[in-house]
A and B are shown apart, each in its own frame.
Chain A
Amino acid sequence: MDRMEIARRGEDAAAAFLERIGMTIEARNWRSASGELDIVARDGDALVFVEVKTRRSERAGTAEEAVSPAKQRRIVRLARAYLSSDAAEHDGHVRFDVVAIRVIADDRALLRHYRAAFEATP
């Protein structure tokens, strides 16, 4: 499995998990000029932007650590773009979640879900 494959399977697992806990997936891999959002979902009346991080080992740090302040700022910027695009008709709550996945075997992984993991605070 190459890196793209790992990432794709991680996002599949995250999306499946989010649907199981009652969220509806609104978009996946939404792209704009400056990057892409992994998952956009709805949780009740809130719009949730989910960043998925998958790691095979923790040699380079944990998956959670990979969502650095710079990365958070990029996601916030993308979220703003999403909200102002045609894709979204939303003026309610917004939330940023992180799903961290640690692969321990080819068919086994640990998944952690952080609700409201960060904010758009400048």
Chain B
Amino acid sequence: MTQAVVASSTIVGVDAVAVEVQVDVSTGLPAFSIVGLGDTAVLEARDRVRAALRACGFDFPSARVTVNLAPAPIRKHGTGFDLPIALGILAATGQVPRGAADAVAVGELALNGGVRPVPGLLAHAIAADRRGLPLLLSEDALSTVSAVAGVSARPLKTLSTLRAGLPDPRRADTRDANRGTDGPDLAEVHGQPAAKRALEIAAAGGLGVLFVGPPGAGKTMLARRLPGILPPLTAAEAIESAVVHSVAGLDVESLLAGERPFRAPHHTASTAGLVGGGSPPRPGEASLAHNGVLFLDEVPEFSPAALQALRQPLEDGYLTLVRAEGRVRYPARFALVAAMNPCPCGFLGDLVRPCTCPPAAIDRYRTRIGGPLMDRIDMTLRVDRIDPGCLLRQTQDEPSRSVRERVCAARERGRHRECGAPVGAGAALLRACALDAVARRAVERAARVHRLSGRGVTRLLRVARTIADLADAVRVTEEHVLEASCYRAFS
């Protein structure tokens, strides 16, 4: 008997790494073994493949079947190898036409021979495209992988189809360019002009915000409306974000339609849940928020370890996990929006209700976030409960759409000035700000009053530069610096 080789891939981090599925069918005591560092799900393929082949009327060879997943040192996870193993057995025993195995095959098999999608198909599609091979996959996932422009997708409903050889390439109908996001609108938030302004600045500069205020002030409502005023995802960003969601086994439809992700993990989230981890490693909330918004409500309630783990992505835009089985890297460039009460009871500084917390409890509460993380939040501002009269008045607040136009224009100006690079630090930032003498004095004064660290001054300038961009100003003036220094209320 003979051998066959089928191309496949396995997920490492958010990339699909090429794996060669080698099948050897030879005489000897009948046996079916899979070698090459597969996890339990990979080994269980034996029973699924056997049942699926028989259900589709193929012969399962009563022979010695050995499957090797090469390269052997990479640990392989999941059920995606069912399809390439079955295809390899069919090719080795001559039950499918020549050429039926000339594709990257990724799919799980049902016992009746049906082909099911697996997590991470988007990453597999990108890898297949890079290798210049077609991708053989479940028909159910066709619409997802059609988002990858170059890939030639060969959808398959059941194994029986392979009798006629590799299926023809097909593409899902291009979805309607539904780029207008239907998320919550900023017009639904009454009042809160300062908080809305801060959101606009955050959106324009890609900056982090912390809202401090009593319960019911609208902090969460405001945060949920940030994705709606951000520019829609570009095609490249949409793929980037969708790959992370695909690897995590989540829906990618809204991302591919251009909607920015909004992730609001509960404060009981573990460190692994927030930044990724587990076995096999899965991307965490910070990575799922890539190119979107990560909202941490009740931020002092999060475990300090989980919060501190966010420092790397806030600085670098990605996360590196080092585990026994190797090192994985997840993208995590997100806008951080945090919300907290001013004190444990929530009413410190409220105009009506008195705070009942002992001063020591307030200090303890505030220090839970930790200086280093606070230093990486660009803007902090207080959000107070609004007057009931304002809530009931039929006013027309500005809708997200028009705010978004200003945000897009400001980002465009920033991009133009920086020749595409994001607002940097140090000399480049100073040059971009082009401060005059008056503005420079304002920066010095703010730095002294707020006792800003070096990084704090950089943050202040970055906020000021964004405010100037929103105002279509070439230079950062005293007025912009003064507004920026308002957003450092707690540091």
Binding site for B on A (CB under 8 A): 46, 76, 79-80, 83, 91-96, 115-116, 119-122
Partner of A94, one of B27, B32, B33: B27
Residues of B within 8 A of A121 (CB): 31-33, 46
Residues of A within 8 A of B30 (CB): 93-96, 116, 119-120
Within 8 A of A (CB), among B49-74: 62-64
In the assembled complex, the CB of A116 is this many whole angstroms from the nearest CB of chain B, namely 4
Q: What are the nearest 10 A-B pairs in CB distance?
A: A120-B29, A120-B31, A119-B30, A116-B62, A121-B31, A119-B31, A95-B62, A94-B29, A92-B27, A93-B27
8 A-B pairs besides A80-B29, A94-B30 with CB distance below 8 A are A76-B29, A83-B29, A91-B27, A93-B62, A94-B29, A95-B62, A115-B62, A121-B33
Partner of A122, one of B27, B28, B31, B62: B31
Residues of A within 8 A of B32 (CB): 119, 121
Number of B residues, CB within 8 Å of A: 11
Complex-state Cα separation, A37 to B29, whole angstroms: 15
**Of all chain A residues, which has the CB nearest B32?**
A121
Complex-state Cα separation, A119 to B29, whole angstroms: 7
Can you name 19 A-B pairs with beta carbons within 8 Å? A46-B62, A83-B29, A91-B27, A92-B27, A93-B30, A93-B62, A93-B63, A94-B27, A94-B28, A94-B29, A94-B30, A96-B30, A116-B30, A119-B29, A119-B30, A120-B29, A120-B30, A121-B31, A122-B31
- Dominant secondary structure at the B interface: mixed
In the assembled complex, the CB of B56 is this many whole angstroms from the nearest CB of chain A, namely 17
| Best-surrounded residue of A79, A92, A94, A115 (most CB of chain B within 10 A) | A94
In the assembled complex, the CB of B439 is this many whole angstroms from the nearest CB of chain A, namely 76
Complex-state Cα separation, A115 to B28, whole angstroms: 16
Complex-state Cα separation, A39 to B288, whole angstroms: 61
Residues of A within 8 A of B62 (CB): 46, 93, 95, 115-116
| With contact pairs A93-B62, A95-B62 given, residues A79 and B29 touching in the complex (Cβ less than 8 Å) | yes
**Of all chain A residues, which has the CB nearest B61?**
A93
Residues of A within 8 A of B27 (CB): 91-94
A-B CB pair tally, cutoff 8 Å: 35
CB pair B29 A122 closer than 8 Å:
no
Residues of B within 8 A of A115 (CB): 62
Complex-state Cα separation, A93 to B28, whole angstroms: 6
In the assembled complex, the CB of B352 is this many whole angstroms from the nearest CB of chain A, namely 74
Complex-state Cα separation, A79 to B28, whole angstroms: 11
Within 8 A of A (CB), among B394-429: none
Residues of B within 8 A of A83 (CB): 29
Complex-state Cα separation, A94 to B32, whole angstroms: 13
Interface 1/0 per residue, B23-40 and A, CB below 8 Å: 000011111110000000
In the assembled complex, the CB of B398 is this many whole angstroms from the nearest CB of chain A, namely 68
In the assembled complex, the CB of A93 is this many whole angstroms from the nearest CB of chain B, namely 5
Complex-state Cα separation, A79 to B29, whole angstroms: 8
Complex-state Cα separation, A83 to B64, whole angstroms: 15
In the assembled complex, the CB of B47 is this many whole angstroms from the nearest CB of chain A, namely 11
Interface 1/0 per residue, B8-48 and A, CB below 8 Å: 00000000000000000001111111000000000000100
Complex-state Cα separation, A1 to B75, whole angstroms: 58
Residues of A within 8 A of B28 (CB): 94
Complex-state Cα separation, A79 to B27, whole angstroms: 14
Residues of A within 8 A of B63 (CB): 93
Residues of A within 8 A of B29 (CB): 76, 79-80, 83, 94, 119-120
Complex-state Cα separation, A76 to B64, whole angstroms: 13
**Of all chain A residues, which has the CB nearest B28?**
A94
Residues of B within 8 A of A92 (CB): 27
Complex-state Cα separation, A119 to B32, whole angstroms: 8
In the assembled complex, the CB of B350 is this many whole angstroms from the nearest CB of chain A, namely 70
Residues of B within 8 A of A94 (CB): 27-30
Residues of B within 8 A of A120 (CB): 29-31, 64
In the assembled complex, the CB of A71 is this many whole angstroms from the nearest CB of chain B, namely 16
In the assembled complex, the CB of B38 is this many whole angstroms from the nearest CB of chain A, namely 14
In the assembled complex, the CB of A92 is this many whole angstroms from the nearest CB of chain B, namely 5
Residues of B within 8 A of A79 (CB): 29
Residues of A within 8 A of B31 (CB): 119-122
Complex-state Cα separation, A115 to B64, whole angstroms: 16
Within 8 A of A (CB), among B87-144: none
**Of all chain B residues, which has the CB nearest A96?**
B30
Complex-state Cα separation, A115 to B30, whole angstroms: 12
Complex-state Cα separation, A115 to B54, whole angstroms: 14
Complex-state Cα separation, A94 to B62, whole angstroms: 8
**Of all chain A residues, which has the CB nearest B50?**
A119
In the assembled complex, the CB of B397 is this many whole angstroms from the nearest CB of chain A, namely 68
In the assembled complex, the CB of A14 is this many whole angstroms from the nearest CB of chain B, namely 19
**Of all chain B residues, which has the CB nearest A92?**
B27
| Best-surrounded residue of B29, B32, B64 (most CB of chain A within 10 A) | B29
